Amino acid sequence: MKLSLVVPCYNEAENVLAFQEAVLEAFAGCGYDYEIVFVDDGSKDATLHNLKKLYKAQACPVKVVSFSRNFGKEAGIYAGMTHASGEYISLIDADLQQRPEIVRDMVKILDEKPDIDVVAAYQDRRGEGKLLSFFKKCFYKIINKLSNVTLHADASDFRTFRRSVAQSMLEMTEWHRFSKGIFSWVGYSAEYIPYTACARKAGTSKWSFGKLANYAIDGIIGFSTRPLRIATYLGGLTAFAALIYMIVVVLQKLIVGIDVAGYATIIVLILLLGSMQLFAIGIIGEYVGRTFEQSKNRPIYIAKEVLLPEDKE
Ligand code: UDP
Ligand code: MG
């Protein structure tokens, strides 16, 4: 098997059939074997039903992994890679925003350049709002500064890579998965190619602003302990300021005496210090929480059903 297309699907009933059509069309006469590994991420619509249809038909080798509930796209990618048997593995969305034709180009690059291990597509033109663009830009600036991984600002999960890369990614069994960071962390040499994301074929995007914000925090916390250092610095800074102010107050008392006032100062200080403490506890909490989650050693996903072509009678 030359290529495995790993496709996480969550409520994509209207897209999966068209997706396979597009793949068959794009890879017609490519001259190598390929398979599609669909992961049904606990969809609530007819996605699994439609995937089973594709599995029965086997128009090309089709595998279906069906989760017991929604575990998220990252878990879907992990499960898909686990069951992929291709020499190359490609991550692609089910909504046809990422054209399968591009995967063919990616395969060609991997074939032609043996020292390239990953071909990643980045969006050359984003059809999203200015505000979101701005936040995304900020996020990449922050994470590239704070963490020891470097992320390409517009790169997506849309990638094709060699089996060894997938193996390395599977060895990273962390529970809070942030695949862009994982890709950067495992290393290997990548080539970036531009692509234009098409409009979603059907259905809606599963990403809300809140979800994206959480994902961004996961990314930063998952690949850097520098935020903890922020708390340390903040504490040091306030301790220093407090010391100075203490000396000022003592001198004031000794030299001129203090009349009881300073209500505003006290309120401001209480609020300021209180919020700084909560902020620092929050940061620590993020790390403690993740340590807790990871220490339970729960599986990244639970597959209710795995359909492989060889099991089909
Ligand atoms: N997806 C998934 N599990 C989820 C959310 C999304 O498997 O919990 C899949 C979804 O079906 C799609 C891909 O991840 O194939 C990308 O999702 P979406 O199109 O909503 O994201 P966007 O393209 O808007 O970034
Ligand atoms: Mg999409």
pLDDT of amino acid 166: 94
Are residues 156 and 264 located together in one domain of the fold? no
Say if residues 59 and 132 touch (Cβ distance below 8 Å).
Answer: no
Which residues are within 8 A (CB) of 29 and not within 5 positions of it... i.e. 6 or more apart? Answer: none
- Centre of ligand 1 to C-alpha 95, Å, is 8
DSSP 124-184: SS--S-HHHHHHHHHHHHHHHHHSS----TTEEEEEEEEHHHHHHHHH---SS--HHHHHH
As a whole number of angstroms, the distance between CA 236 and CA 96 comes to: 52
- Kindly tell me the number of DSSP H helices and DSSP E strands found in the chain: 10, 8
- The three-state DSSP-derived secondary structure of 215-238 is HHHHHHHHHCCHHHHHHHHHHHHH
Are residues 36 and 115 located together in one domain of the fold? yes
Say how far residue 140 (Cα) sits from the centre of its chain: 13
Q: Which residues of the chain have pLDDT under 70?
A: 125-127, 312-313
For the chain, the residue count is: 313
As a whole number of angstroms, the distance between CA 267 and CA 187 comes to: 51
Which residue has a Cα nearest atom 2 of ligand 1?
A: 73
- Centre of ligand 2 to C-alpha 6, Å, is 14
Are residues 202 and 264 located together in one domain of the fold? no
Q: Which helix (H) or strand (E) holds 123?
A: strand 118-123
pLDDT of amino acid 108: 93
For ligand 1, mutation pick of 10, 17, 50 (most atoms within 8 Å of CB): 10
Are residues 109 and 214 located together in one domain of the fold? yes
Identify the domain containing residue 284 by its residue range. Answer: 226-295
Which residue has a Cα nearest atom 19 of ligand 1?
A: 205
Are residues 159 and 265 located together in one domain of the fold? no
> Domains in the chain: how many in total?
2
Are residues 274 and 303 located together in one domain of the fold? no
- The model carries a pTM of 0.84
pLDDT of amino acid 125: 65
Are residues 304 and 264 located together in one domain of the fold? no
Which residue has a Cα nearest atom 16 of ligand 1?
A: 93
Are residues 220 and 260 located together in one domain of the fold? no
* Alpha-carbon separation of residue 32 from 60, 162, 167, 221 (angstroms): 12, 15, 22, 41
Are residues 67 and 197 located together in one domain of the fold? yes
Are residues 69 and 205 located together in one domain of the fold? yes
Ligand 1-lining residues (CB < 6 angstroms): 8-10, 12, 41, 70, 72-73, 76, 93-95, 97, 205-207
Helix (H, G, I), strand (E, B) or coil at 67: strand
Say if residues 6 and 37 touch (Cβ distance below 8 Å).
Answer: yes
Are residues 290 and 303 located together in one domain of the fold? no
3-state helix, strand, coil in the chain (%, to 5): 55, 15, 30
Are residues 109 and 256 located together in one domain of the fold? no
- Centre of ligand 1 to C-alpha 290, Å, is 23
As a whole number of angstroms, the distance between CA 241 and CA 245 comes to: 6
As a whole number of angstroms, the distance between CA 254 and CA 246 comes to: 12
Say if residues 155 and 192 touch (Cβ distance below 8 Å).
Answer: yes
pLDDT of amino acid 312: 64
